[in-house]
Chains A and B, each alone.
Chain A
Amino acid sequence: MPSIRLQGSDGEIFEVDVELAKQSVTIKAMLEDLVMDDEGDDDPIPLTNVNVAILKKVTQWCTHHKDDPPPPEDDENKEKQTDDITVWDQEFLKVGQRTLFELILAANYLDIEGLLNVTCKTVASMIKEKTEEIHKTFTVESDFTEEEEAQMRKEKLV
């Protein structure tokens, strides 16, 4: 099976099967451009925004999902569904928060719709049904001043 080489943000080279790589719309477009340019096939494709560790995780996901049917057109009903994640995906995404967010950014950069969907759903399901302490879950320093916070609490009584 033909494979292509990808260069992560840390300079490391990572080889992956072409068909798998084409699940990423970004890579697919890059490949089409390369063919047209007819440059040396040995040059690895630079992916400046993704490091190799995350690339490996993404490849793992793509391998498992390579036979998935293409997702249906925007389904109004499905948009709000956050818990229809398959068991395999649930296990796959039991990673630290940092990895989860890096996966989201990678899926966004590489334009892999399925992975983006499932990671965002996971984050959404982590957030929902919580209370104000949510910022602790995500280590976000609250940027609001005390008066602003008090004002928001009052408004919440809407």
Chain B
Amino acid sequence: MPFLGQDWRSPGWSWIKTEDGWKRCDSCSQELRSENGQYTINHSIILNNGEEEIFSNECEYAAKKRKKEHFGNDTAAHSFYREKWIYVHKESTKERHGYCTLGEAFNRLDFSSAIQDIRRFTYVVKLLQLIAKSQLTSLSGVAQKNYFSILDKIVQKVLDDHQNPRLIKDLLQDLSSTLGILVRGVGKSVLVGNINIWICRLETVLNWQQQLQNLQMTKQVNSGLTLSDLPLHMLNNILYRFSDGWDIVTLGQVTPTLYMLSEDRRLWKKLCQYHFAEKQFCRHLILSEKGHIEWKLMYFTLQKYYPTKEQYGDTLHFCRHCSILFWKDSGHPCTAADPDSCFTPVSPQHFIDLFKF
């Protein structure tokens, strides 16, 4: 079977054996479509500067019975259609159940629909940020295209709904500084792909940063209730839900009432207790003249020394039994006797570490 792929690191096309011989996966889907409309196709469309390419190893067939007819009970069939999980290989042997690098995980886990879900958005952004800081050089060509296309969708989303701009600005800042270093400093020997593509990408990122900078929040014309019309305890309720001190400070700058609420010592005490441990307080204790603890100052000081707590609405999970990474609502073909006991949530850093050999 000739190995034909877009670049030598990707798994190549997928092939299906039909009566007329071996056919590539996407052409096969045409025939199936004409036979009966019993399935859906979900292509991961990877944009390459306006040119659309549909990669055949990402077709998805909803009619599972049909898959069984074609492939029997062969578990290798999983590589033909797109399920949102990936096997993670732990030991370093020659035998692997499929291609499992960081880039491939990135392709298969369908982050482009994950960003539309508020529970997963911050998680995916954090993943992208960690990849931007240290893993760009390990991505295959396909994974790189996928990465930038997801980033493009995120930027468009932020420009549309004006939510989470600060988070994305941080991500783009990390990305542009890493790209700058790689393109100018290290260059061809380390980067996969033509250096000019990377220069184009750097320009795109700088362009996005400019667009976000220019993002003018349009003033909402609202004749009815506004935030400041809410009673104090409601505003407090909202303030107590923030896990980032900067959000409290920012909100406090809106009206004098909010300012007063945002300066409340108990609010900052709760925030410190949420993120940091008692031991860490003791090392950086800041007292006011009257002997009270200055919780707000302590929060910003502690933040410089220690990592803050991360909490996400929904994360990827890892099944220890099958060694598979998956989203909880997509599931995976688990062979364990007691599936629930094998799952652990995967933090973004843990995700990156899973693929370090």
Name A residues whose Cβ lies closer than 8 Å to a Cβ of B: 76-77, 79-85, 87, 90, 96-98, 101-102, 104-105, 108, 116, 120-121, 123-140, 142-144, 149, 152, 156, 158
Return chain A residues, CB-CB under 8 Å to B225: 97-98, 101-102, 105
The reply to whether A136 and B121 form a contact with Cβ atoms under 8 Å apart is no
Given A83-B118, A97-B225, A134-B254: 20 more A-B contacts, CB < 8 Å = A79-B270, A85-B313, A90-B118, A98-B222, A120-B237, A120-B238, A125-B118, A128-B164, A128-B244, A129-B165, A129-B247, A130-B166, A134-B217, A136-B218, A138-B226, A139-B219, A140-B226, A140-B227, A140-B228, A152-B259
A100's nearest neighbour on chain B, judged by CB, is B225
- In Å, the complex CA distance between A104 and B312 comes to 24
Return chain B residues, CB-CB under 8 Å to A125: 118, 163
- Residue B194, interface by CB 8 Å: no
Return chain A residues, CB-CB under 8 Å to B231: 105, 108
The reply to whether A130 and B250 form a contact with Cβ atoms under 8 Å apart is yes
Return chain A residues, CB-CB under 8 Å to B243: 80, 82
The reply to whether A124 and B238 form a contact with Cβ atoms under 8 Å apart is yes
Name B residues whose Cβ lies closer than 8 Å to a Cβ of A: 117-119, 121-122, 162-167, 216-231, 234, 237-238, 240-244, 247, 249-251, 253-256, 259, 270, 274, 296-297, 300, 311-314
The reply to whether A97 and B220 form a contact with Cβ atoms under 8 Å apart is yes
The reply to whether B166 and A84 form a contact with Cβ atoms under 8 Å apart is no
- How far is the CB of A76 from the nearest CB of chain B, in Å? 7
- How far is the CB of B241 from the nearest CB of chain A, in Å? 4
- In Å, the complex CA distance between A76 and B274 comes to 8
- In Å, the complex CA distance between A87 and B264 comes to 34
Return chain B residues, CB-CB under 8 Å to A131: 165-166, 250
The reply to whether A104 and B230 form a contact with Cβ atoms under 8 Å apart is yes
- In Å, the complex CA distance between A152 and B234 comes to 24
- In Å, the complex CA distance between A133 and B313 comes to 26
The reply to whether A87 and B117 form a contact with Cβ atoms under 8 Å apart is yes
Most buried by B among A83, A98, A131: A83
**Contact of A132 with B241 at beta-carbon distance under 8 Å, contacts A105-B230, A108-B234 already known:** no
- How far is the CB of B135 from the nearest CB of chain A, in Å? 23
- In Å, the complex CA distance between A156 and B246 comes to 9
The reply to whether B312 and A83 form a contact with Cβ atoms under 8 Å apart is yes
Return chain A residues, CB-CB under 8 Å to B224: 97-98, 101-102
**Contact of A127 with B222 at beta-carbon distance under 8 Å, contacts A120-B241, A132-B253 already known:** no
Residue contacts A-B, CB under 8 angstroms, 16 given: A76-B274, A79-B274, A81-B241, A82-B241, A98-B223, A102-B224, A105-B234, A127-B242, A129-B247, A130-B163, A131-B250, A133-B217, A134-B254, A152-B253, A152-B259, A158-B300
- In Å, the complex CA distance between A145 and B122 comes to 35
- In Å, the complex CA distance between A80 and B244 comes to 9
**Contact of A139 with B221 at beta-carbon distance under 8 Å, contacts A77-B311, A124-B242, A128-B244 already known:** yes
The reply to whether B241 and A158 form a contact with Cβ atoms under 8 Å apart is no
- In Å, the complex CA distance between A149 and B163 comes to 24
The reply to whether A142 and B254 form a contact with Cβ atoms under 8 Å apart is yes
- How far is the CB of A43 from the nearest CB of chain B, in Å? 29
Contact of A120 among B226, B234, B296 (CB under 8 A): B234
A156's nearest neighbour on chain B, judged by CB, is B249
The reply to whether B220 and A139 form a contact with Cβ atoms under 8 Å apart is yes
- How far is the CB of A70 from the nearest CB of chain B, in Å? 19
Return chain A residues, CB-CB under 8 Å to B230: 101, 104-105
Return chain B residues, CB-CB under 8 Å to A138: 220, 222, 226-228, 254
- In Å, the complex CA distance between A135 and B238 comes to 15
- In Å, the complex CA distance between A131 and B118 comes to 20
- In Å, the complex CA distance between A105 and B238 comes to 13
The reply to whether A132 and B314 form a contact with Cβ atoms under 8 Å apart is no
A153's nearest neighbour on chain B, judged by CB, is B253
